Copies of this chain bind each other. A is one copy, B any other.
Amino acid sequence: MLENISSNKVFGGWHKQYRHRSTVLNCDMRFAIYLPPLANSQSVPVLYWLSGLTCTDENFMQKAGALRIAAELGMALVCPDTSPRGDAVADAEDGAYDLGLGAGYYLNATQAPWSSHYRMYDYVVSELPALIEQHFPVNEQRAIAGHSMGGHGALTIALKNPGRYVSASAFSPICHPLACPWGQKAFTAYLGDDREQWKQYDAVELIKSGAAPLPMKVDQGESDPFLAEQLLPETLIAAAKQMQFDLDYQLHAGYDHSYYFIASFIETHLRFHQQHFQ
């Protein structure tokens, strides 16, 4: 059911990649898991990491420097891919980086040709955790985090599933896809023209409509080239303030949108989630 395709010892634990058939996505998928040394003797909590546009399961595991901290804290990390994959899966006709392969947006598409495979929401919320909890020494304590498109995914998935995640965090998230070009393009394609349907996948709209609060942390680089047009953290801050929703938001002078920014602050995110695990 799970085909192991790589295995590397790192910080005393193990980084492993697996291939499996996803019934939800109707294609073969790859994911990566990091199991800390503590997982040799007991079940451990899991932080799910959702990556941004163009990424796979590899970017975060290789570049964020998170494994060192996960090893210390006794926390598993799980990285899914960012979209369904394979020759049978629809892609943007112009090969755009922000639609189709590598750009699943962690939602369930309703429009052809996307709806036959693009169901990353169900995959991340249900199918993947069920696999992880069946096959690996993890317990049912989950947290969720991500970057950019994956930050959007982490915040919306946590907000839509009260009690399922102890905490959520994001680097440079797409906060309000209804109001930015990336979101408008992807949501039009995946969900159609009815903007009411978009709101269920928009962190700002979910908070405004009364989603249950959970511990939430967002870090943003002030020199991020996507800040003003695509990410719109001011809309998230305003929604959180309006709804008295506790949001730990930090703006960092000089930092950009890259994994160099993530690496610089990932330790604070893992420690934030660790506080909320039992």
- State how many angstroms separate the Cβ of A141 from the closest Cβ of chain B: 25
Q: Contacts of A63 on B, CB cut-off 8 Å?
A: 62-63
Is the pair B8, A258 in contact by a Cβ cutoff of 8 Å?
A: yes
* Choice from B12, B258, B263 contacting A67 with Cβ under 8 Å: B263
In the complex the two chains form, is B62's CB within 8 Å of A9's CB? Answer: no
* Bound Cα distance A258, B15 (Å): 11
Q: Is A95 an interface residue (CB 8 A)?
A: no
Residue from B11, B12, B68, B261 within 8 A of A10 (CB atoms): B261
- The 0/1 profile, CB within 8 Å of B marked 1, for residues 58-92 of chain A is 00001101011000000000000000000000000
A160 to chain B, nearest CB (A): 33
Q: Are B62 and A10 in contact (CB under 8 A)?
A: no
**Among A8, A67, A223, residue most surrounded by chain B Cβ atoms (within 10 Å):** A8
CB closest chain-B residue, reference A64: B65
CB distance from A77 to the nearest CB of B (A): 13
Residues of chain B with a CB closer than 8 A to A259's CB: 62
Check B264 against A10 for contact (C-beta < 8 Å). Answer: yes
A210 part of interface (Cβ distance < 8 Å): no
Q: How many copies of this chain sit in the oligomeric assembly?
A: 2
Q: Cβ of B9 and Cβ of A223 under 8 Å apart?
A: yes
How would you classify the secondary structure of chain A's contact residues: helix, strand, loop or mixed?
mixed
- Is A263's CB under 8 angstroms from B9's CB? no
Contact call A8/B68, Cβ cutoff below 8 A: no
**Interface size bracket, A side:** 20 to 34
Interface residues of A in 1-57 (CB under 8 A from B): 8-12, 15
Which chain B residue has the least Cβ–Cβ distance from A256? B8
> What B residues does A258 contact at CB under 8 A?
8
Residue in B closest to A265 when the chains form the complex, CB atoms:
B11
A97 located at the interface, meaning its Cβ lies under 8 Å from any Cβ of chain B in the complex = no
A-B contact pairs, 16 of them (CB 8 A): A8-B256, A8-B258, A9-B221, A9-B254, A9-B255, A9-B261, A10-B261, A11-B263, A11-B264, A12-B264, A62-B63, A63-B63, A65-B68, A67-B263, A68-B263, A68-B264
Interface residues of A (CB under 8 A from B): 8-12, 15, 62-63, 65, 67-68, 221, 223, 254-256, 258-261, 263-264
Known: A9-B223, A9-B255. 6 other contacts (CB 8 A): A9-B221, A10-B261, A10-B263, A11-B263, A65-B65, A68-B263
